[in-house]
């Protein structure tokens, strides 16, 4: 019983972390001052200078956001992908260990839960000052979840063949 509670706690803990970050206004999450103080941005500039991304119909590049802005943008979007990758993996593990559903059902249900939570996360941001919900972030979060699901499926399929 204790193990089942621990397995269920992991995705819930990740959801709480996501909720916590979504609840913070942008100013509380701004890492640019720390980057400017501690990172040698002049060495990073040649790496990010070629980057030109359109996000929410606006360009994100060194010219529009500065080196620190582009680096922060990449960190934030990587975090979106990564945290929902982790949520998917934790949800698969919890459903598999606690409810012992068939693997295909675990994978599908985990994907629905994770993508649903991504959508709720963006909706929640609409109530947070200086935060803007964006469907593109739900897509990015979903890509993290799908990638985790694909990797888990690949390992499961590979182990089954042995």
Q: For the chain, give the percent of residues with pLDDT over 90.
A: 86
Identify the helix (H) or strand (E) that includes residue 47: helix 41-48
Give the pTM: 0.91
- Say if residue 47's pLDDT is above 90: yes
pLDDT digits over 58-73, tens only? 999 999 999 999 999 9
Question: pLDDT tens for residues 22-41?
Answer: 999 888 888 999 999 999 99
pLDDT tens profile 104-118? 999 999 999 999 999
Rounded Cα distance, 109 and 159, in Å = 21
pLDDT of 130 reads: 86
Core vs surface per residue 73-87: b (16+ CB within 10 A) or e: beeebeebbebbbbb
CA distance 90 to 41: 35
- Number of other residues whose CB lies within 10 A of the CB of residue 21: 18
Average pLDDT over residues 112-139: 95
69 vs 59: CA distance, rounded Å: 12
pLDDT value for 78: 97
Please choose, from the candidates 160, 148, 140, 156, the residue with its C-alpha nearest in 3D space to the C-alpha of residue 110.
148
Instruction: State the virtual CA torsion across 153, 156, 161, 162 in degrees, nearest 10.
Output: 150
Tell me what pLDDT residue 90 has: 98
Quote the mean pLDDT of the chain. 94
């Amino acid at each position: 019983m204790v193990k089942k509670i621990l397995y269920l706690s992991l995705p819930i803990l990740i959801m709480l972390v996501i909720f916590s970050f979504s609840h913070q206004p942008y100013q509380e999450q701004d890492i640019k001052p720390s980057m400017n103080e501690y990172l040698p941005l002049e060495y990073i500039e040649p790496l990010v200078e070629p980057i030109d991304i359109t996000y929410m119909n606006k360009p994100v590049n060194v010219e529009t956001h500065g080196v620190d802005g582009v680096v922060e943008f990449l960190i934030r979007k990587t975090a979106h992908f990564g945290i929902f990758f982790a949520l998917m993996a934790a949800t698969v593990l919890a459903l598999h260990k606690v409810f012992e559903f068939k693997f295909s059902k675990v994978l599908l249900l985990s994907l629905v839960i994770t993508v649903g939570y991504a959508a709720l996360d963006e909706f929640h941001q609409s109530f947070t000052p200086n935060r803007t919900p964006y469907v593109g972030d739900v897509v990015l979060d979903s890509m993290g979840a799908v990638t985790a699901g694909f990797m888990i499926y690949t390992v499961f399929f590979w182990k089954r063949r042995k």
